[in-house]
Structures are given as C-alpha cells and as structure tokens.
Structure 1
Amino acid sequence: MVHPLDKSTLTMPLPPVVTELGELFSEAGYELSLVGGPVRDLFLGRSSPDLDFTTNANPDQTLAVIRGWADAYWEIGRAFGTIGLRRGSHQIEITTYRADAYDPGSRNPSVAFGSNLEEDLLRRDFTVNAMALTLPAMELVDPFGGVKDLHAGVLRTPGAPSSSFSDDPLRMMRAARFASQLGVSVAPEVAEAMSAMAERIGIISAERIRDELVKLVNGRAPGRGIDLLVETGLADHVLPEVSALRLEIDEHHRHKDVYRHSLTVLEQACASETDADGPVPGPDFVLRFAALLHDIGKPATRKFGPGNAVSFRHHDAVGAKLAARRMRALRFDNDTIKAVSRLVELHMRFYGYGEAGWTDSAVRRYVTDAGPLLERLHRLVRSDVTTRNRRQVERLAFAYDDLEARISALAEQEELAMIRPDLDGAQIMALLGITPGPVVGRAYRYLLEERMEHGPLDPATAEARLRSWWFHQPESKEIL
C-alpha cells in the first residue's frame, strides 16, 4: 500500500535533515526511505533520537553520497550494509535493502541484500515498524497495515509469527518491550507463537536480553510487558524468579497473590518517581527492578504454621542474593547489581517501626545502610503497601511519615548522609601510639558504632571512650 502522506495526521514535524538527505540520494539516482521506528513515532507524536533509512544503494554508493554532507561517518556496520553518520544533532543510519537469512542455530543473521523496499519491510519485526516514508516524494509505504494496527493498539508480525521469531528469537522480547513502551497488546497468533517458541530465546546472548529487559522495565506500562513474558513462558527462561512468584493460593487464602502484588508494587513505584529536578527522576530502572524483584525470596522461604498461618522469614535476605545472581547472569554492571540487591535486602527493615518505635541509633543505621539509595528506599517501602485495608494503609503511611520526619530532623543536626567516627585514622594512631594496621580499623569501627548509638561526641568524650576500648584490647598490653 503506497499513498501520499497526510501530514495533517502527524503531530510531530519531520526534521529538515530528512528531506535534505532524500534529495541527495534522489539526485544521485538512488532510492531512500525513512523506515521503522521513526515512521511509527510520527503517528504517535513522538520524536525519535535516531533516524533510520533504507536504500537500494550499496555501502560504497552510500558513502559516495554522504561524504562532504555528513559531519562525521563510520563504517562499523558495513558488513551488514549499514553506514552510520552524524549531521548536526542527528544520529543517522542508512542500510542497504535487506532480505536476511538466518541460521536456526545462530544468534546472528547472515546478510543477504534485497532488491526492493517491500522485501526489506517484510523482514522487519512488527507491522508497526514495517512502514516507510519514501523521500523526497513523502509517500507512505505500508504494505502490512502498520498504521491500522497502531491505531488498534495491537502488535502483529508482517509474515507468520513463527517464521519471524525463528529468524530472530529476540523479537519475542521486543514484543514484550513494545507492550510496555507503547501500551499495546499482542495479537493472539503472536502470543501463541511466543509460547510455543519460548525456549528458543536460549540462543540469544545475555547482553541482548538484558538490553531489551531494561527498555521494557523503563517503559510506560512495564507490568504489561512483564505479564506477557510470564504468560507466554518467556520469563521461565529470562526471569524465572518472577515466574516463581505465582505461588498457589489455597482455599483459605493464607497469603495474597505474590506475583500480582509485585506487579502492583512496580506500578506504584513508577508513580512515585519524580521529574528531572527531583530526587528520583523517572524512569528509574534501579527502583523499578527492585520493586519487581523485592519478594522473589518468598517461594524459597514459605513456611506453614499452626492456625493456617504462613510466613516468609528472611525472604528479604534470600531475595537479595537471588536478585544479584539473576542480574549477574544477565550481565548487568556491578553498580546496578549492588543497588537493586541492596534495596531488596532493605525493603523489610522499616516494618516494626510503627509498633515499637526506633531509637535515634536505629534511624541513623537505616540512613547509613541505605546510603545513596535512601530516596529510592523511601519509595520502595511506600509502594510495598498494597493492602485494601484502609486503616492499615493509613497506619503504615503515618509511621513512615514519622520516620522520614525524624530522618530530616537528625539530618539537620548530624549530616546523616556523611556519618563518620568522631576521630579519624590519624587521630586514632596518634592517641594510641600505634602504626597503620588492622587495629586502626577495629578502633575506627568501634568509634563508628559509638557514633551510631549516641550521636556526635565531643573530642574529649570520644578520646575517653577510645582509651577505655583500647585498655581491653590484647595489643595494648604488648605495647606496655
């Protein structure tokens, strides 16, 4: 289907660089079309950070056209027919028409160049991404009904879903990602193919799966994407700990649906994010992923007791280890792994505050243990309240409001975010007459505990307590 583009249906104008490039290729005798995500986003009123084009020119011919016009160009994707370039603030990729052929046992396509635009569009993942805008004529090429599917909010493949997913199994992860980013549902035949072919995701590298997962979690409706992974069985291979949250609910309803609860916590965590000027600008992957994984320790720790009682003792500590293990398998960086697993570990620390109250020492430890994750921890703990019992919701909210007020009050007095012992290492060594070594570390930790327990100490009191501690250390007798 080819027809002139009705610009009145678009809410985002095309940048001038698009028509400029189209005219360059036309003058050189080649075809050029804007394709894929940038075309889709035109109909969604979104601007794309990157611009993707397809052409009948081969890479050498493309280079001949863009030299002197591009501010910079690179040939990293040349083997796949792609030339990258930068023009002003725009990142651009131009790829020769493709008709990819895949080895069923390989993670990567073997490249076969195509001869026409429609053949190129057929190889793409979904109909909403299989649209092109020919340049400079500005005609919309939509052979598979992408615009119709976009308006209907449904995800379909240009050809048979089984063929598409067999060619590139990562497209199944992309389906879940688009469900999150675009808020669309998948067509029944797409869901069926995902379920039937879920195991094939195993040939895809952990890094590529991780990248799709991050985009999914950072989407506008991540629960929708996660649900699709779980319902089709893909999560059994990429996030089995989340699938395991679907604990069997017995007739006595001794505990709530942990899986649905986790999706609700994720949704509430997303809603708690701030704008760019706030303490937790959204989308915040660390907060969202911790919200999704916060209860993954429950299946392994579930115990039944008398009176139909159920408990999940230490599920926070177990869950933190499981989260770190899964994230390492997905090749996340160490900082992100530590942040997510630490939030999972700390998410239960607050409970009990409302009943027993906390000493100033406990408040200091809460802040110190959270460190730079404190604002995220605030939001995770509040998001973890999903009960329908209004009185319980109000009680927990009041208790956490009180805790945050105490944190603020102590922070004004003590700089909680930077708690240090009242004496530093040099002062410790000078006072005790010792040289650098393990004893200095022990002394430092002792003073830090005193600082946590009692708040700031004046120099004389800190020195007196250090001397008292030192008197009971075996090393002090050796010096004497």
Structure 2
Amino acid sequence: MDNLPKLIQETEELTNQFLTANKSLYLVGGVVRDLFLKSEITSEVDLDLTTDALPEEIKQIVSPIATNLWLPGEKFGTIGIHHNDRTYEITTHRAESYDSNSRKPEVTYSTNIEEDLSRRDFTINAMAISLPQGTLMDPFNGKNDLSEGILRTPLTPEESFSDDPLRMLRAARFTAVYNLNPAPELINAIHSLIDRFPIVSAERIIGELDKLLKAENPDRGLHLLHDTGLLKAFLPEVASHRFQYLSSLPLDPNIRVAALLAETQPDKYVKRLRQLRYSNERISSIQQVIAGANGILNDPSSDSDYRRWYYQISDKRVESYLIALTLSENVEDIWEKMEITRQRLGNDLDDFSLPVTGNEIIELLDVEEGRIIGEAIQYLQRFRFDNGPFSSEDAREILQDWWNIRSNKPEETNQK
C-alpha cells in the first residue's frame, strides 16, 4: 500500500478533528481496495470515510475546516465535504436493513466498525483502515479474496442481494472490472433472487450498466448476467454473441449499448431504452449510430448515397463504422470505397443547410405557408444530395422549374 502514508498525511487535519471530539475515523470501501491494487489515487478521486460520530456530530466536527459542506445524503448518515482540494463522504457506521419492497435502506446507526463492514456489498469493499494508525480492519478476508480473484459477499449472498438487488448487477461490474471469479454461492443467489430485481429503479440500473460498459472488457460481467438470467430482467433483446465485440470499441456506454442492440429491430430497442429511462438525447445518439452502421451495409459509396448517409449520421461516422464491423465481414471493403468518396467530395460535405429560407420560398412561389413549403424544401434537399451544393440563385431556378412542373401536373392528369 505505497500510497497509504500520503493519504494518512493528507487526512491528518481532518483526522485530528475527529480525535479531538473523541471519535474514530476510517478510510473505507473502494479506496482501501484500490490501495491494495496499487491504483493511482488522484485528487479527483472521492474518499469514503466512516465514523462512530452521528451526522449532527460530523457536521460540527468538520465545519471549522471544510471548504464546502453538503447534506443530500444526511438522511442516510452521509455528510459530504470539500477539504484541501478533495471531496470526502463521511458516513456514520451503519447497521441498516432494507424494506422488502424498496432498495433504499432503513438507516440504523452503529458504533461498531465490523457491523458496518458486514452491511457492505462485497468482501473486497468491506475493508477499512483506521486513521491515523493505518491499521487494516478486514473481518471478512477481503484482501485475500482480492489477491485470489474471488468475488464474495460479507454476509450470505441471499441476505445481501435480497437487501439490495442492485448488488446482483454490481457483481457483474466487479467481475469484469477486476477480473474476478464470482463464488458459486453468489451465482446461485442471483439465479434464485431475480424476482427481487424489479424493485430496482431504472435510473439505478442505467447507472450500474454504464459503469459495467466502461470496463476495458465487460465480457465476463455480461456473461454472468446472461448465464444467471438477470440480463433478461432489463435487456432481454440482447443476444450473448454480441458481447464479444465490446472490448474492441471505445469505452463509451452509448457506443457499447449500440453494439449490443445493433441486431434488434429499431422499434423494439427504442421501446426498451425508454422503459429504462434513457434520456432522449442518449436514445437519439444510439439510434444514429445503429442506423449509420446499417447504412454502411447498403454500400453508400456513390456520391449521392454518401451525401445522404453522411447527412444522416452527422458526427457519428467512425462510431457507425465500428458497429458495422460487428455486423458483416465485407464492411472494410465497403468502407474503403466510402472513404475514397469522402475524400473526393471534400468541402461538399461541410454544410448541408439550404441557401433559401421558408419565407423566401413563399415569396418566390407566391403561395401561402403550408404543405407546399415542406415539399419544396424536401425537393431541394434531394437535389442537394444528388448534385452537391448550389447557390441561392441556383436554388431559386431549381425551385421555379420544380414548381412549373408540379403546377402543370393536375392539368396533364385532366387531359388524359
């Protein structure tokens, strides 16, 4: 734990505040795990601390030195502070239990650090280091599990997952991020407790899934979700053969969700994403990438087809290509032709806006605002795709020719 002395020194002023108040203070959770993993703990990393001081006492203890203090988590025993360019979350030891119909804990405070650690999700996160002594508290052998590559819960997994079913999804993330092997009893518990998962909010599912998809290789975690049946509880459309492609993609949850759903019908995956409370912006981005990928399969390498495709995908050109690679073996050949077209078109692709406005079209055609204006704009857009950029003067001539032909069509029909 090479970084521990630095953290003890960094937290000295804060620790002394608690010691003066005759209260204990511990580093806890992820930071302790990361110390054993020798991960870099930069100033951007939030530090979790736990104490036997009650929330009101914590506020009094830290007020003299905290730059900022915020209280959204106070009802759960957590006080947030900013001190010496770092954010700390300080939580009273807890011995919470959970309502069977909710994932939110019914908070009960404790004065016992081991009881607090027993309520945490996994043994690798159920370790604490006393301040300022630097003594490790590891009642559930988290250090050994970490070195052995085992994912276990401090209590029985049935109790842990029943208390908070989100931990089943979190198990997949830790399996992937830290390359751990879930204990057999943990896997069995996920199988048997899937019916508890619906109490987890969609927002929390997205948050945990995003973290899993940011792993370098989320394959292990996704297979755990698939093999236990938990994936069907929130993404039943995803087939397991899609997992293999994610490690070659950027660490962007939107792109990786697009890869998972690329073979699913658009109406089905859009409905699913809305059920999971994805924002409209994220859904639009995912749709754009998948549509762009499928567009590549149609070989849009002619000038007109490429303009249409490029206009559709906007800034998602590379992302669309990466997803397309997972859908067909001949994508590289198509892409090579598309790139030749892109380079040849050059500045042609910079701006697809039309050089005339709707009001100018109304004035030119001497018509009232309505359906005709929409038709005229669509015609100009098609002309732009087929022939490239044109000037405002050209647009007026193109529209006049179109309008003359369109205006004569009813008479031609009547003559027939």
Taking structure 2 as the reference length, what is the TM-score of the superposition? 0.92
Distance verdict in 2 for CA 1:65–1:120, change over 3 Å: same
Aligned residues: 408
Tell me, yes or no, if the aligned pair for 1:173 and 1:212 is still in contact at 8 Å. yes
Partner residue in 1 for 2:89: 93
Q: Among residues 308, 313, 317, which one is paired with 1:365 in the alignment?
A: 308
> 1:410-441 CA distances to partner (integer Å, 9 max, x unpaired)?
1x231x25312343334423422345443222
Q: Among residues 332, 338, 341, which one is paired with 2:287 in the alignment?
A: 341
Q: Among residues 27, 35, 55, which one is paired with 1:34 in the alignment?
A: 27
Tell me, yes or no, if the aligned pair for 2:258 and 2:287 is still in contact at 8 Å. yes
Partner residue in 2 for 1:471: 404
Distance, in Å, in 1 between the alignment partners of 2:160 and 2:385 is: 59
Partner residue in 2 for 1:255: none
1:263 corresponds to 2:243: yes
Distance verdict in 2 for CA 1:16–1:441, change over 3 Å: farther
Deviates more, 1:99-108 or 1:113-122: 99-108
Q: CA deviation at 1:27?
A: 2.1
Tell me, yes or no, if the aligned pair for 2:165 and 2:197 is still in contact at 8 Å. yes
Residue type at the aligned position of 2:178: L
For 1:9-88, what aligned pairs fall within 5 Å after superposition?
A: 13-14=6-7, 16-44=9-37, 45-47=39-41, 49-88=45-84
Q: Among residues 335, 344, 347, which one is paired with 1:413 in the alignment?
A: 347
SS in 1 for 2:136: strand
Residue type at the aligned position of 2:259: A
Partner residue in 1 for 2:377: 444
Distance, in Å, in 1 between the alignment partners of 2:371 and 2:84 is: 57
Residue type at the aligned position of 1:75: L
Distance verdict in 2 for CA 1:476–1:432, change over 3 Å: farther
Partner residue in 1 for 2:338: 403
Distance, in Å, in 2 between the alignment partners of 1:136 and 1:399 is: 62
Q: Among residues 376, 382, 385, which one is paired with 2:325 in the alignment?
A: 382
Distance verdict in 2 for CA 1:349–1:224, change over 3 Å: same
Distance verdict in 2 for CA 1:198–1:321, change over 3 Å: same
> 1:162-212 CA distances to partner (integer Å, 9 max, x unpaired)?
111111111101101112222222111111111111121111111111111
Q: Among residues 150, 155, 161, which one is paired with 1:159 in the alignment?
A: 155
Partner residue in 2 for 1:168: 164
Distance, in Å, in 2 between the alignment partners of 1:12 and 1:365 is: 59
Q: Among residues 455, 468, 471, which one is paired with 2:388 in the alignment?
A: 455
Tell me, yes or no, if the aligned pair for 1:420 and 1:451 is still in contact at 8 Å. no
Residue type at the aligned position of 1:363: Y
Distance verdict in 2 for CA 1:138–1:470, change over 3 Å: same
Q: CA deviation at 1:476?
A: 11
Residue type at the aligned position of 2:289: L
For 1:416-427, what aligned pairs fall within 5 Å after superposition?
A: 416-427=349-360
Unmatched 5+ stretches in structure 2: 411-416
Q: CA deviation at 1:19?
A: 2.9
SS in 2 for 1:147: helix
Distance, in Å, in 2 between the alignment partners of 1:98 and 1:11 is: 25
Q: CA deviation at 1:89?
A: 2.8
SS in 2 for 1:241: coil
For 1:295-310, what aligned pairs fall within 5 Å after superposition?
A: 295=263, 297=264
Tell me, yes or no, if the aligned pair for 1:39 and 1:129 is still in contact at 8 Å. yes
Distance, in Å, in 1 between the alignment partners of 2:338 and 2:84 is: 50
SS in 1 for 2:237: helix
Residue type at the aligned position of 1:362: D
> 1:63-97 CA distances to partner (integer Å, 9 max, x unpaired)?
11101200010222222111111114312111111
Distance, in Å, in 2 between the alignment partners of 1:454 and 1:12 is: 68
Distance, in Å, in 1 between the alignment partners of 2:394 and 2:59 is: 74
Unmatched 5+ stretches in structure 1: 1-6, 246-258, 274-282, 298-317, 386-392
Distance, in Å, in 2 between the alignment partners of 1:397 and 1:197 is: 44
Partner residue in 2 for 1:388: none
Distance, in Å, in 1 between the alignment partners of 2:179 and 2:365 is: 65
Q: CA deviation at 1:20?
A: 2.5
Tell me, yes or no, if the aligned pair for 1:183 and 1:220 is still in contact at 8 Å. no
Residue type at the aligned position of 1:119: E
Residue type at the aligned position of 2:260: L
1:136 corresponds to 2:132: yes
Tell me, yes or no, if the aligned pair for 1:149 and 1:155 is still in contact at 8 Å. yes
SS in 1 for 2:103: coil
Partner residue in 2 for 1:284: 252
Distance verdict in 2 for CA 1:396–1:337, change over 3 Å: closer
Taking structure 1 as the reference length, what is the TM-score of the superposition? 0.80
SS in 2 for 1:418: coil
Residue type at the aligned position of 1:360: D
Tell me, yes or no, if the aligned pair for 2:59 and 2:79 is still in contact at 8 Å. yes
Tell me, yes or no, if the aligned pair for 2:292 and 2:316 is still in contact at 8 Å. no
Residue type at the aligned position of 1:199: D
Distance, in Å, in 1 between the alignment partners of 2:219 and 2:170 is: 15
Distance, in Å, in 2 between the alignment partners of 1:118 and 1:11 is: 21
> 1:426-470 CA distances to partner (integer Å, 9 max, x unpaired)?
442342234544322221111111010111235554332211211
Distance verdict in 2 for CA 1:23–1:12, change over 3 Å: closer
Q: Among residues 361, 375, 383, which one is paired with 1:428 in the alignment?
A: 361
Distance, in Å, in 2 between the alignment partners of 1:14 and 1:408 is: 53
Residue type at the aligned position of 2:316: L
Tell me, yes or no, if the aligned pair for 1:265 and 1:384 is still in contact at 8 Å. no
